[in-house]
Amino acid sequence: MDRKPLTRFALLSLAAAIVTITLKLAAWYITGSVGMLSDALESIVNVVAAAATLWLLYLSARPPDDRHTYGYSKAEYFASAFEGALILVAALLIAWSALERLRHPQPIEQVGLGVVVSLVATAINFGVARVLLGAARRHYSIALEADAHHLMTDVWTSIGVVVAVFAVSVTGWNVLDPIIALAVAANIVFTGVSLLRRSAFGLMDEALPADRVARIEQVLDRYRAEGIEFHAIRTRAAAGRSFVSMHVLVPGAWTIQRGHDLVEKIEHEVATTAPGTAVFTHLEPLEDPISYGDEGLDRPGV
């Protein structure tokens, strides 16, 4: 599966991040709201994360070579992990700013203009997030998915900040501004930890999602009905690529050609059912007891 087209989505994210951070910093400057500042600080993370995602998507699109015979697709997990780490840094900066404002409350100014500017930035983030999420689902890209979820978190954060600014302007309770900022920090900590967790699982060769495995099993069930057996079925996700290996057991009287034709057909059907999947098969005779002693990852005697 060609990963190069994904870089254009990362470029879109980077451009949107630059525009929105400019707008949000303007909103903070206009209002003096620490909530607006917290929103702008998270957008700084968006810029850095989008740049990192762009580079790592470019790297992941490189073809296999002598040193990386399975390709570079796992580079996407580094993009996701890096973004998760930056989100946690932003949360600390937001919390620090909010605690300072709790000790020294200040009034919010020019609420209307600041809110309008912030909402324009929010609308841009929402539109780009929807585009990225659609591309991530089509191409099985965890890097774009992480970027999209981060932008959606930014959207809800911005909405919360706008609500806080209005609440302060109506009630006069300046303390609401830093309290909402602290809530924003807590929310994005959750997002950052989630991204780090998913990246770690991906780097540890996590199995394919249950729905994809179920579709693969449906293909194999058709052959089981014809007397063909399978075992040692293993799946592995590597960002936009997937790997499936299995042992295919057929009657020992079959010719090599007949067995070869069968596994070629099975590999093609599995790869068609689960796009972006590399399929590896090992042919064994049904009648030989040794065929049933090598289901584990480490074969006996090896």
Mind listing the pLDDT tens digit for each residue in 161-205? Answer: 777 777 777 777 777 777 777 877 787 788 788 878 878 887 888
In this prediction, residue 171 carries a pLDDT of 75
Amino acid identity for residue 150 in this structure: H
Supply angle C-alpha 112, 181, 86, rounded to 5. 115
pLDDT-based confidence at residue 297 (cuts at 50, 70, 90): low
Interval 104-119: pLDDT, tens:
766 655 556 667 777 8
What is the mean predicted confidence (pLDDT) over 67-76?
82
Cα–chain center distance at 162: 28
* Polymer length of the chain: 302
What's the rounded Cα separation, in Å, for the pair 259 and 23? 63
Query: What Cα–Cα distance (Å) separates residue 274 from each residue in 14, 36, 136, 138, 207?
Result: 30, 44, 15, 12, 13
Domains and CATH numbers, the chain: 6-203 (1.20.1510.10), 210-292 (3.30.70.1350)
Pairing of strands 229-238, 241-250: antiparallel
Interval 209-250: pLDDT, tens:
888 899 999 999 999 999 999 999 999 887 767 899 999 999
In this prediction, residue 52 carries a pLDDT of 81
